[in-house]
């Protein structure tokens, strides 16, 4: 599939852009960085993650990864757009955007991971993952360790996660 993005300005004018990431399967998740139109875009399909570092330079497509088996359920950037977390089946893979390499694998959930987010607390870089196993885990990316694992929280699995950065000030 080819991905077509349409930008609609406040005045209602539209501008289109076509991105071809050579996807061999259906697109399963799209994540746009949070700062501006020059933010990165990450698109995933089964067995492939493709990154455009900036929509201003759409010819700079990078095949971030095709070194895994499974469906990508979720992708997110850290606040500096230097890391990407990809939730693939029961694991979370952390990729370095600059080198396009997997730098860490967070495993331990017993069901599909449905979401993750990055969080900076003081100088610690953390990641929080949620899963269909109805638990969440807090990971310290600097020490590459699990900090905390919840017990089963509810009868229903977690489907999304968000954090409030104002809580950390």
| pLDDT per position as a tens digit, 89-145 | 999 999 988 887 889 999 999 999 999 999 988 888 899 999 999 999 999 999 999
List pLDDT tens digits, range 13-39. Answer: 666 666 665 666 678 888 888 766 567
CB burial string 71-80: b at 16+ within 10 A, e below: bbbbbbbbee
Using CA atoms in the order 157, 161, 166, 169, what is the torsion angle rounded to 10 degrees?
80
Query: Cβ(49)–Cβ(62) under 8 Å?
Result: no
Query: Cβ(50)–Cβ(25) under 8 Å?
Result: no
């Amino acid at each position: 599939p080819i991905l077509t993005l349409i930008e609609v300005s406040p005045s209602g004018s539209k501008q289109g852009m076509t991105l071809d990431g050579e996807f061999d399967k259906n697109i399963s998740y799209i994540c746009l960085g949070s700062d501006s139109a020059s933010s990165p875009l990450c698109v995933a399909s089964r067995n492939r993650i493709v990154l455009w570092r900036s929509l201003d330079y759409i010819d700079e497509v990078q095949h971030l990864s095709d070194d895994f088996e499974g469906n990508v359920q979720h992708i997110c950037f850290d606040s500096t757009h230097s890391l990407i977390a990809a939730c693939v089946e029961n694991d979370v893979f952390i990729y370095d955007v600059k080198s396009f390499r997997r730098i860490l694998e967070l495993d331990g959930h017993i069901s599909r991971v449905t979401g993750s987010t990055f969080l900076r607390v003081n100088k610690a870089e953390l990641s929080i993952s949620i899963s269909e196993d109805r638990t969440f885990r807090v990971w310290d990316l600097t020490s590459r360790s699990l900090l905390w694992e919840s017990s089963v929280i509810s009868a229903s699995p977690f489907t999304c996660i968000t954090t409030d950065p104002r809580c950390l000030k």
